[in-house]
Amino acid sequence: MSARRNHDIKTLARRFFMPGDYVSHAPCGNGHINDTYEVRCNQAGTNVRYILQRINHAIFTRPDLVMDNIHRVTSHIAGKLDAIGEPEACRRVLTLVPCRDGSMWHEDGEGNHWRGYFYIEGAEAHDHVNSTALAEEAARAFGTFQKHVADMEGDRLADTIPDFHNTRSRYNAFARAVEEDRSGRRGEVAREIEWVQTREPLVDVLLNLLADGTLKERITHNDTKINNVMMDHQTGEGLCIMDLDTVMPGLVHYDFGDLVRTTTISTAEDERDASRVTMRQPMFEALVRGYLSTAREFLTRAEIDYLAFSGKLITLELAMRFLADHLNGDPYFKTSRPGHNLDRFRVQAALVESIEMQEERMREFVAQCAEQG
């Protein structure tokens, strides 16, 4: 996927209700999909920052549905925070900034869709955490998010990317990429392809449980990377969940599993030396503690039983996605070096293997923590 293009951010910012004089803008965040900027405005002597973000419409082909979901979810959560008198509610849920014409997003002359948010000051997102306290806080925040949206009424939220976490579909897409070999790289990654193929039976486990009614569909975030939660600078509290494009119906395991994938890992997601990758049990335990502290009250026994498994499954899912993208010639994830997606694959594969070796202990910890209540 190509790098960020030049956008006229100053002109775009004027379309939104971002009052004051434009001062500056800068790229922001490390997302693989959208383009994100912070915009600084001077409001009669006070500097105020906003977020301006281009939705990648090659991937989110219905930005209108994305914005509809986000508007509904953020308004619902803001209403709840207001009702309980939560202090600093605007730092605890994203707030959309409307356009000057009243619409919730702006479409520029090139078919790009833009949206604005309040900038959350005094907090930051971490791409990698080494502290169990931060891991626990992040998991607590995602549990709270799920709890807040659990009782949302009205129509089912739109599937902004259909089958996003359907691991059978992900496997089939991977198999198609192998067959088509669009990049001509198949011969170089025969071992990696086989590694995925031997794990094919895992992809149906949760889907079968959903089909037979053991697990139930809820509203989930679906992209719970550790860098999608803003943590307070002063207190380390997990304040606000970001990156809401994929909020849609799903299984709680998709969220917990991606937290395990991105938080327990000992390296960056794209580490070049996969032999350095391990699943860190203390980080896993912190996630379980944090998540259950807020999610226990609504989770079923069956949901809890598959939390440990979910980390392995979602890591395998990303392994399949990265290897498929490599085979397809890198059309999806932003890359900044040759073989970037292959490196990402190798890291995921190493993490799956590390989880496989510690799975029993992970399962035991979840059971023990769930019982403690």
Residues that bind ligand GN1 (CB under 6 A): 31-33, 59, 223, 225, 243, 246, 269, 318
Identify which of residues 258 and 343 has a Cβ nearer to Mg ion in the complex. Answer: 258
Instruction: Tell me which amino acid residue 40 is.
Output: R
- Least distance in angstroms from the C-beta of 42 to ligand GN1: 31
CB of 31 to ligand GN1, least distance (A): 4
Taking the least distance from each CB to ligand GN1, the nearer of 99 and 343 is 343
Q: Which of 126, 118, 107 is nearest to 55 (CA)?
A: 107
When CB distances are held under 5 to 8 angstroms depending on the partner's kind, the choice from Mg ion, ligand GN1, none that residue 32 binds is ligand GN1
CB of 55 to ligand GN1, least distance (A): 10
CB of 227 to Mg ion, least distance (A): 6
CB of 224 to ligand GN1, least distance (A): 9
Phi, psi of 220 (to 5 degrees): -130, 170
Nearest distance in Å: CB 59, ligand GN1: 6
Of 13, 31, 96, 146, the one binding Mg ion by CB under 5 A: 31
DSSP, collapsed to helix, strand or coil, labels residue 228 as: helix
- Taking the least distance from each CB to ligand GN1, the nearer of 157 and 369 is 157
Nearer to ligand GN1, 99 or 318 (CB): 318
Q: Which is nearer to ligand GN1, 266 or 293 (CB)?
A: 266
Q: Which does 35 bind (CB under 5 to 8 A by kind): ligand GN1, Mg ion, none?
A: none
Cβ contacts of residue 356 below 8 Å, gap of 6+? 312
- Which residues have C-beta within 8 Å of that of residue 157, sequence separation ≥ 6? 69, 72, 73, 219, 247, 248, 249
Question: Of 105 and 365, which has the nearer Cβ to ligand GN1?
Answer: 105
Q: How far is the CB of 291 from ligand GN1 (least distance, A)?
A: 18
Packing angle between helix 190-197 and helix 307-328, nearest 10 degrees?
Answer: 150
Which lies closer to Mg ion via its Cβ, residue 3 or residue 44?
3
Which is closer to Mg ion, CB of 246 or CB of 358?
A: 246
Write the interaction track for Mg ion spanning residues 71-110; mark x where CB under 5 A is met and - where it is not: ----------------------------------------
Binding partner of residue 269 among Mg ion, ligand GN1, none, CB under 5 to 8 Å per kind? ligand GN1
Q: Restricting to residues 159-188, which ones interact with Mg ion according to CB under 5 A?
A: none
Q: Give the SS3 label for residue 58.
A: coil
Integer Cα distance of 46 and 43 in angstroms: 5
Q: Closest separation between CB of residue 332 and Mg ion, Å? A: 14
Binding at 248: pick from Mg ion, ligand GN1, none (beta carbon under 5-8 Å per type): none
Stretch that binds Mg ion, among 27-35, 98-106, 112-120, 199-207 (CB under 5 A): 27-35
Structure tokens at 349: 């594969």
Strand, helix or coil for residue 115: strand
* Cβ-based nearer residue to ligand GN1, 33 or 292: 33
Helix (H, G, I), strand (E, B) or coil at 37: strand
Name the minimum Å distance from CB 82 to ligand GN1: 28
List, in order, residues 6 or more apart from 267 with CB less than 8 Å away.
Answer: 128, 273, 276, 277, 347
Two structure tokens written together for 116: 């604005």
Question: Is the Cβ–Cβ distance between 240 and 123 less than 8 Å?
Answer: yes
**Contact status: 243 vs Mg ion (CB under 5 A):** yes
d(CA 288, CA 370): 9
| Residues between 197 and 236 with contacts to Mg ion, criterion CB under 5 A | 228
Rounded to whole angstroms, how far apart are CA atoms 355 and 361?
10
CA distances from 214 to 139, 204, 210, 304 (A): 24, 14, 6, 12
Task: Measure the CA–CA gap between 197 and 200, rounded to whole angstroms.
Answer: 5
246 touches which of ligand GN1, Mg ion, none (CB within 5 to 8 A by kind)? ligand GN1
Cα radius of gyration (the chain): 21
Token digits of residue 244: 């809401």
Residues within the interface to Mg ion (CB under 5 A): 31, 228, 243
